[in-house]
Amino acid sequence: MNLYSLCAPQLGEGVKDVKVVAFLKNLGDTVSKDEPLLLVETQKATMEIESPVTGIVHEYKAPLHGEVAVGKELITIRVANGMPSLSQLAPEKSHAGKNIPLQEIVLQNGTKAPKEKSDEYDERLISNQQYAFLKAMRQSSHEIPALIQSTIDDYLIRDLRKNFRTKFLIGKLVPTSTEIIAWCVLQAMQKYSRFRSTMLSDDKTIRQYKHASIGIAVGLPDDGLATVRISDDEYADFKEFITICKSKIAETKTGINHNGPHSVSISDLTALNIHWAMPVIVSPAVATLCIGKASGRSSLGKPYKFSLAFDHRLINGVGAARFLFDVQQTLKHLKGEIV
């Protein structure tokens, strides 16, 4: 096998670098010639970069959301022996997509966004983050989703928030229920390796990551959606995790992009009076946890509702149940520490 290097193309006069917005293929995935590989943007346009060869995605050479100089490597692709070199590729077919405005990318039916408003309707552009999210959803057709549900008494979270405020005497740093549960999920992921893994496109190979990473869903105006990625190598303890989490969420609401590949997505719908949900798994994640509003009554309080959708190719029902149980046990243990 040979390695083919896909480099940042020249996307216009005076353009010296591009920003990587999203990777549209996972490492180990098969890519066909002319199939989109990643999404990049300049000051004037957002575009897809297509693969000039058929092969297997080998390595990301560019950082997500990072600036890459024109001519520098973006991705390497494993190709079969005998595949043409870059100099042998047909010159009339560039590996860059069309240099077109964002709205022409959003409208995939071949029509351009109108320059003027109609008397009967209006058309608006979706954000780059939403566009990348939709791209990832299109890649999620291989998952075999399964669902498991559980509850956890809200007194654990109420008491933990109260103890945190008393211990650190910092009102603004008191964690939300989302942040507390997100921390517990990250701890459980370290124990259950399938929740920090992904299935490669051959449906036979599991890639296991050393670090656990989550994506917290953040609602934006006009029904927009962004994701905040946090990995367990970014913080040293619970307090630092809460600080980082609050900072990233606040910046995301101002338009700063903190998205990135993650294994478990978390969506908190308690503020919207939702109790149960059917979460959607969006590639490359292998599970999505939806937090529903605490309701009803147990001996200790109102129980939060957990709906966990997971990829059944990697995770079975027993493993998912043990994972949720460990999330609950981690929360009880954390409550005992913050006293």
In contact, 21 and 36? CB cutoff 8 Å? no
Can you give the pLDDT at residue 128? 65
Can you give the pLDDT at residue 160? 86
- Closest by CA position to 240, among listed 185, 160, 184, 183: 183
Judged by average pLDDT, the poorest of 118-122, 220-224, 271-275 is 118-122
Can you give the pLDDT at residue 44? 56
Length of the chain: 339
Q: How far apart are CA 16 and CA 26, in angstroms?
A: 27
Predicted structure pTM score: 0.65
Q: How far apart are CA 183 and CA 143, in angstroms?
A: 25
At residue 236, φ and ψ (nearest 5 deg) are: -105, -30
Can you give the pLDDT at residue 49? 85
Tokens read off for 323: 């994972």
Question: What is the mean pLDDT of the segment spanning 22-28?
Answer: 84
DSSP 8-state secondary structure symbol assigned to residue 111: P
Domain ranges in the chain are: 2-100, 144-337
Query: What one-letter code names the amino acid at 312?
Result: H
Can you give the pLDDT at residue 250? 93
Lookup result for tokens 């900072």: 247
Tokens read off for 179: 């942040």
pLDDT tens, 287-331? 999 999 877 665 566 788 999 999 999 999 999 999 999 999 999
User: Is 3.30.559.10 the CATH number for 144-337?
Assistant: yes
Judged by average pLDDT, the poorest of 10-19, 130-139, 323-332 is 130-139
Q: How far apart are CA 21 and CA 129, in angstroms?
A: 8
- Asked if the domains 2-100 and 144-337 are classified in one and the same CATH topology, the answer is no
pLDDT tens, 213-243? 999 999 888 788 888 999 999 998 998 999 9
Which of residues 57 and 128 earns the better pLDDT score? 57
At residue 237, φ and ψ (nearest 5 deg) are: -155, 180
Question: What is the mean pLDDT of the segment spanning 29-56?
Answer: 81
Can you give the pLDDT at residue 184? 95
Q: Angle between the 238-253 and 177-191 helix axes, to the nearest 10 degrees?
A: 120
pLDDT tens, 150-205? 988 888 888 888 888 777 655 567 889 999 999 999 999 999 999 999 887 777 88
- Residues sharing a CB contact under 8 Å with residue 8, sequence separation 6 or more, in sequence order: 17, 18, 40, 62, 68, 69, 70, 71, 72, 73, 74
Given a cut of 60, is residue 100 above it in pLDDT? Answer: no
Question: What is the mean pLDDT of the segment spanning 263-269?
Answer: 94
Lookup result for tokens 């008393």: 166
Given a cut of 80, is residue 285 above it in pLDDT? Answer: yes
Can you give the pLDDT at residue 86? 41
Share of the chain above pLDDT 70, in %: 78
Burial 194-225 (b: 16+ CB within 10 A, else e): bbbbbbbbeeeeeeeeeebbbbbbbeeeeeee
**Any alpha helices (H) in 92-168, and if so which ranges?**
102-106, 128-138, 155-168
User: Is 2.40.50.100 the CATH number for 2-100?
Assistant: yes
Which of residues 64 and 315 earns the better pLDDT score? 315
